[in-house]
Amino acid sequence: MSSKLDRRKKYTRLVLKESFIKRMQEKPLSTITIKEVCELADINRSTFYSHYKDLYDLLTQIEDKIIEDLNETLTSYNYSEDEEAIRMTEKLMEYIAENHESCQTLFSEHGDPDFQKKVIMLAHTHLLNSLKEDQVAAPYNSEYLSLFIANGSIHVVQNWLKNGLKESPEEIAELIIKLATRGVSGLQS
């Protein structure tokens, strides 16, 4: 009986999340109502409130799950190994492709700017640690290089999502790695 409830709970949350993301694709969060999300999900308001306090709570939970998944991927690879850096970037791009509706919406003009900053800072922190370990750049350059690569990579991903994922995750990962490597190479000369 408990697994049936868990399945129903997961389904309800999934439908609410999908309905909310659909609304965010159409208009800013500040103009979305719980009523319209519930109508689209075909779920009553009391059911919504049994899962979330409000739309911001729902948004926070969606964003936190994505941040958690990205962080898990970033921490499971050694960036200083070229092959692992490529594989890690491919894994991130595969994750984004699998969750493209949510990611595209959250990285769009209707998305939460704070979420976008969190993703950039997460990437920045991981890159900074990698650059310090590699000693590729002078210490004062590591922070700037890390910010440059993180911001540039996020914009490449945003454009990839906006253009309908025309390239494969592997192609985008290879592009990001090539751009990041050329930036590092330029500092060594």
Per-residue pLDDT reduced to its tens digit, 69-106: 999 988 887 666 667 778 888 999 999 999 999 999 99
User: Is 97 within 8 Å of 165 (Cβ atoms)?
Assistant: yes
Closest CA to 131 of 123, 142, 144, 140: 142
pLDDT of residue 144: 83
Q: Would you say the CATH fold of 59-188 matches that of 1-52?
A: no
Chain segment 25-81, per-residue pLDDT in tens: 999 999 999 999 999 999 999 999 999 999 999 999 999 999 999 999 888 876 666
What are the extents of the domains in the chain? 1-52, 59-188
pLDDT of residue 69: 93
Tokens of 43: 């779920």
Chain segment 127-137, per-residue pLDDT in tens: 777 766 655 55
**Class in CATH terms, 59-188:** mainly alpha
Cα(126)–Cα(161) distance, integer angstroms: 23
Tokens of 32: 């979305």
Whole-structure pTM value: 0.81
Tokens of 29: 């969060």
Cα(41)–Cα(163) distance, integer angstroms: 27
Domain 1-52 has CATH 1.10.10: yes
Please compute Rg for the chain using Cα positions. 19
Mean of pLDDT values over 170-186: 78
Closest CA to 163 of 121, 114, 110, 107: 107
pLDDT of residue 17: 96
